[in-house]
Structures are given as structure tokens and as C-alpha cells.
Amino acid sequence: MAADQPLPPPAPDHRHLYGPRPLGALVPRLTRPAFRAMSPAAAQIMADWSAIVGPSLAALCAPRRLASGTLTIACAGPVAMELQHYATEVIARINAHLGGTTVRALRFVQTTLAAPAPAPPAPAVPPAVAQAADSAVAALPDGELRQALAALGRAVLAAGPPRG
């Protein structure tokens, strides 16, 4: 081959001229089965559902499936009827979040949703920490402010010294 001629295009199997195939050529073949089962848009909707519709609405419904522009939403109780009235706004929020027109319609199915996981219990405050926090606010008059500052002091002292 002459020096002034361009190199031929790579072979269909994406083999590099000087060695193994680039890693980027393998990624589509590995991820295609996963994305066939669930599209990236559906995964994004499910991951960010609370941010899209708000925490109060996210507690009552959950996205289940996105197929052909129709998002299936599972609802508990009479929430489906209420969501039908807000369908255009919910669709607009989802599409704005995804940055395109991905969802064109909503489909509601009534089901029971799993209860959210209970919040972890607050750690027990050692008596020495509680006493130190209470003595720091002893000069303040009794009331909500004193109680709030004592609780803040207990939380700060229980957390320990700042790491840095």
C-alpha cells in the first residue's frame, strides 16, 4: 500500500489493526439484552420517580413498565382516578425530566404497594453526652428553644469530633 493512500476501514468485527478489539466495541453486545428487558428511559423513571412526581404522590403510586410510549403506573386505592386528572401534568414532568418526548400516555393499574421501609431507630445518647448538652443550655429559660438547643447539642456531641 502506498504511503499517500488512506487506511482501509476497520473490519466488521471491529478488530483493531494492531491487536485486540477495543472495549467500546464489546459494550453494545453486552448491554443489549439488559436494555431489551428494560429501556434506559424506564430505568431512569423508576430511579427518579420520587423526584419527578414528589414524595407524597410517590408514596401512593409507582411506575411499573414503559412500552411504546405508554407508562404503566401501579396505584393504591382511588389514587388512579385522581391521577387521571393530572395525567397531562405528570406526562409533562416525566418528559421534562428525561429531556424528550418519551411518554405519550399513562395507564393505571390498581394494586397494593409495598409499605416503605421503617426509619432506623435513633441511636441511644450516652448519659454523659445528654448531661453535657443539658448543662450547656441550663442558663436559658424553659421552653421550646431550650429543648431544641439541648437536642441539637446532644446530636452534635453524639456525632463526635469533626473528621478532617
126 or 20: which leads in pLDDT? 126
Share of the chain above pLDDT 70, in %: 70
- Residue 82 is predicted with a pLDDT of 83
Q: Which has the closest alpha carbon to 43: 70, 64, 24, 68? A: 64
- What's the CATH code, domain 37-110? 3.30.300.180
31 has pLDDT over 60 = yes
Contact 114, 59 (CB under 8 A): no
User: How many CB atoms are closer than 10 A to CB 49?
Assistant: 19
Grid cell locating 124: 441511644
Which contiguous run of DSSP H or E holds residue 28? helix 23-37
Q: Please, where in the chain does CATH 3.30.300.180 lie?
A: 37-110
Residue pLDDT, tens place only, 38-91: 567 788 888 888 888 888 888 888 888 888 889 999 987 788 888 888 889 989
- Residue 99 is predicted with a pLDDT of 84
pTM for this structure?
0.48
Collapsing DSSP to helix, strand or coil, 62 comes out as strand
140 has pLDDT over 70 = yes
